[in-house]
Structure 1
């Protein structure tokens, strides 16, 4: 009798290992990628599958909506190095229990055996997953980076349906799912051996784990609870904002009753036009100014150039009579660079590099002219 019990126990342990391995590979199977897939492969797979199962392309299809959520959950885990390590080691339960699943290292190993002998405790569903972040670009001229700007803009995003408040139901009524009796989960019991059973819990395929079903679908969202439409935003570009700055609007990405909305990230970029001939390097400005050979050798000139400042929009450059400017000379004008973001009357410097246009002739003649040597 004792040996028979040991034999059954060995079978049980083997089955646990197989079942546990299957759980580990589940997210990879969902995205149809291998366990050693890199982030590029995972991102590519997610984009293809999320487009295929997106609720907008499958209105009223609860199976597709559930598949869309599962794909998003798998993507979030596998793209996060820490979560992926926990998942590879402990499976989904490890993520829910902070890396210490009930049947894995750090948990109670007797919980697994209790499940097999019919005494397993039923775990509740996890909380709402976090949705993906949304991203967009917004371009400004260097002049706008210098002075600051306020911009109103619209983006097309997924919004919770305002007609049914995200329920998907025309009359606002949700009815308990008959398949899972309103629990959102289904338990299957498999006999491993005489007197030995394993219980598996899975999301109800008929209600997508919601526990409720819609019998009278909303006309606006076709029962999905969401629709795509424009959302308005305002951005304040502070003077001196760095290029490649990211403005974050928390919780303003695609919305859904199925998840907590991610963040909207606006990437601030500098337009190539509208810089008035200036170049920016951190808080300093650079400009190339062209002089004739006569101006470079004799001096005695004044030149007004446009500037980025809305209030002082010109700068005066000048040289005294007889003051020589060599090709490549750099003039530093302190306090005429970019404003320091969040600074009070603090600015970088402006660097003017002079380029002398020389006449034709031999190289030796040009060099002598530039150095004011006797011919």
Structure 2
């Protein structure tokens, strides 16, 4: 082999050996940068798990392998200690390996009953008894509605487990015919049951990851299939988290728009102002006025509201209503005169009297009555 070809072969061999030692690129598998936050990692896993699940890809011979790689990537990168080891030494540097069931990870996001994608209603077989559904109110903040989040819910779930002995099951009414004599029969209805393995209900701790999607609306539900009440002779019901958006101290939600009130001083209301409002995710919204601001005046900031649930790229408006903080102490006579001279404006109080609804043509007759300045 020529020296040049030998050198190329050696470099290639070293690259392959290094790749084997380094193991799989978990960041690439999840499609996230190495600086990804835990929320980014959870969001990426949830999205890809729906796409790569073997039940959705029956014709792909590598579907199971891809799904296992995805689960391994999430298991390592969602754990701060394992992620630190992986970032430093690669997959081979993980001390205890990563042996969690990838089906368990999937069920944390979508539920426990088959491949239902955490929100697709399952087809109910009328002949299979089913446990009751559970509805749990889940309080979320307006900050979470704005930016999205993952909420970890830990609950004790009653699960039916096999126990020693047998039990009666699938009981039903059946007709029995008894011959009493020649040509005489008696028909009776009896309860007939099968024998099934005995079961007992035990509480098991379950951790569920509920994704709060940006723009989620109050009252929306997130179902987890098979996480409801168990049924010893059938399948468990579903668990549904119902969103309850808690009241915010500064912003009020109306659809995708946000409303807030800002108080300015009397001086600012007359001469203008520049200020910043801290938004729900911490960024600053700059507002500026160079004209008189009356109490109740409104300012619209388009695109500074909440993201639309149907399209996060579209945002509502931020509507700001201004209040004016008037001085609480009485002005001195000198201050009053100074303000009058500065504004060069006398009394313009007028009382419009509509007590007489006399009309001339189509116009009402109105008598403006000037009030003396001393009248308060």
| TM-score, length basis structure 1 | 0.49
Greater share of strand residues, 1 or 2?
Answer: 2
Answer with 1 or 2: which has the greater Rg.
2
